[in-house]
Amino acid sequence: MSDTHFVRNQMVEEQDPPAATTGVAGWLRENLFSSVSNSILTLLSLAFVYWLLAQALPWIVSPTWHAESLTECREIIAELGYGGACWGIIRERWLQFMFGFYPAELYWRVVLDFLLLAVALAPVLFTNLPRKMLYFSAIYPFLMPWLLWGGTIWNPIVVALGFVIGFYAQRLLKPSIGELAATIAAFVLPIIWWLFVAGPVADALASVLPLSIQAVESRNFGGYMLSITIGVVAIALSLPIGILLALGRQSDLLIVRSLSVGFIEFIRGVPLITLLFVASTLLNIFMPPGTDFDIILRVIIMVTLFASAYMAEVIRGGLAALPRGQYEAADALGLDFWMAQRLIIMPQALKISIPGIVSTFIGVFKDTTLVSIIGLLDPLGLSRAILADSAWNGIVWEIYGFIAVMFFIFCFSMSRYSMYLERKLQTGHR
């Protein structure tokens, strides 16, 4: 008896996977209904979400946008037969929440300023854009305050000249007096320029060629315009200052290390609200008589210093996480300290520190609400002024809910960008 063998002479056609394992059905089966217990929890969660939406949606979609007072809101809600929010206050005070008491005819300057902010940030946040856009990013920090505060255009120009003086001082003096002395000169000379020379030079240029726009006092600033201004400036300045403080804390020079450690530990040991009180009340005591030191500028300085101290510790953690071999590799290539930091050490340390850096940024932006305690009219400060209006006295949830949603949008956007940047810079194997 012989065995019969069968050998297939053609390939079996590829078949589609079972419908229950792919697409929406497969995702639901794997993530929500993979077992009896998961199925029960999914159904209970869906029931809770349905109950929550059934309670919240009627309140949120309340047709009270055109109400002129809380009394009118209550009349509209009474006709509906169920509770609802009074959104008329948001419609009526929308521009005030955005711009504070900034002159209405000059709103275009604020809108233009923040549109230019997006243009300036784009090449910094997204490296696939043309690198030539970075020239505008360098110009924008001097253009921004001029658009917001107004006045003569020579003020931001002479301030920018201070940075030019520092750059060329370091570059020209380095061969003759050494790198350390040239670096110190690059910091000292701009400060001397700003304190004693920039003001008279700007006044002289303004008298010869008066180029200016209408000036706006700081007391007219408010709303989200004020919060974004303080937050963006503090965030932009705290990162480079934090890098310098982190490097200073690891320096071999005793004076530099001691000053860095003392500054970081002192600032981190003091609440931000204390620094804001110092900025608003005590700082003028130590200034020469007759000095007019803008309150918003004082607040920006204090918030920046506060954020810089925390940023320095975040970056120091990134530096400590780098293997010693990276430093030795930089030395083996013959790189000096600053080149090694710029090309090898700092890019890796910043990559490691991205979550901590973004968390610090988010905290700084949320902490801008503390300026309401010293009398500045940020969204929270405005809310108290609005609630004092007899027409809207008694509304709470609508105002604070609106403020919370707006802050959530800004902070959530920063968080999403952080995750995008981490994925983009991911070079290791998973």
CA separation for the pair 80, 61 (Å, rounded): 12
The CATH number of the domain holding residue 321 is 1.10.3720.10
Residue after which a domain boundary falls, among 162, 192, 213:
213
- At residue 340, φ and ψ (nearest 5 deg) are -65, -40
Q: What is this structure's pTM?
A: 0.86
Do 125 and 164 belong together in one domain? no
Q: Is residue 10 part of a domain?
A: no
Same domain, residue pair 230 and 326: yes
Quote the CA–CA distance of 227 and 31 in Å, as a whole number.
Answer: 41
Pair (385, 261) in one structural domain? yes
Separation of CA 174 from chain center: 35
With 80 as the cut, is the pLDDT of residue 25 above it? no
**How many Cβ atoms are within 10 Å of 187's Cβ, its own excluded?**
12
Q: What's the structural domain count of the chain?
A: 2
Mean pLDDT lowest for which of 13-17, 56-60, 259-263, 332-336?
13-17
- Comparison of pLDDT for 102 and 32, the residue scoring more: 102
- Residues 257 and 163 grouped into a single domain: no
Rounded Cα distance, 149 and 143, in Å: 10
pLDDT, tens digit, 9 for 90 and up, residues 55-74: 888 888 888 888 888 889 98
Q: Which of 61-70, 184-193, 226-235 has the highest mean pLDDT?
A: 226-235
Residue 353 lies inside a defined structural domain of this protein: yes
In this prediction, residue 428 carries a pLDDT of: 54
Nearest to 90 by CA among 62, 110, 112, 124: 62
Same domain for 230 and 300: yes
With contact defined as beta carbons under 8 Å apart, do 163 and 190 qualify?
yes
- Is there a single domain that holds both residue 369 and residue 411? yes
**DSSP β-bridge partners for residue 377:** 222
273/166 same-domain check? no
Report yes or no on 292 lying in a domain.
Answer: yes
Q: Please, are residues 206 and 154 in contact by the beta-carbon 8 Å criterion?
A: yes
Note the pLDDT tens digit of each residue in 351-375: 999 999 999 999 999 999 999 888 8
User: Which one of 6-10, 308-312, 423-427 scores highest in mean pLDDT?
Assistant: 308-312
Token pair for 168: 């060329």
Stronger pLDDT, 169 or 20, i.e. the higher one = 169
Task: Please tell me whether residues 121 and 260 are part of one structural domain.
Answer: yes
Q: Does residue 38 form part of some domain?
A: no
Residue 152's H or E segment, with its range, is strand 151-152
Longest Cα separation, the chain: 119
Q: Are residues 264 and 330 in the same domain?
A: yes
* Helix 154-177 with 198-208: angle, nearest 10 deg: 130
Range of the domain at 109: 104-149+223-389+397-424
For residue 429, what pLDDT is reported?
46
Pair 204, 348 in one domain: no
90 contact partners, CB below 8 Å, separation of at least 6:
65, 97, 398, 399, 402
Q: Is the pLDDT of residue 3 over 80?
A: no
If you ran DSSP here, which 8-state letter would residue 214 be given? -
Q: Chain-wide mean pLDDT for the chain? A: 88
Residues 117 and 171 in one domain: no
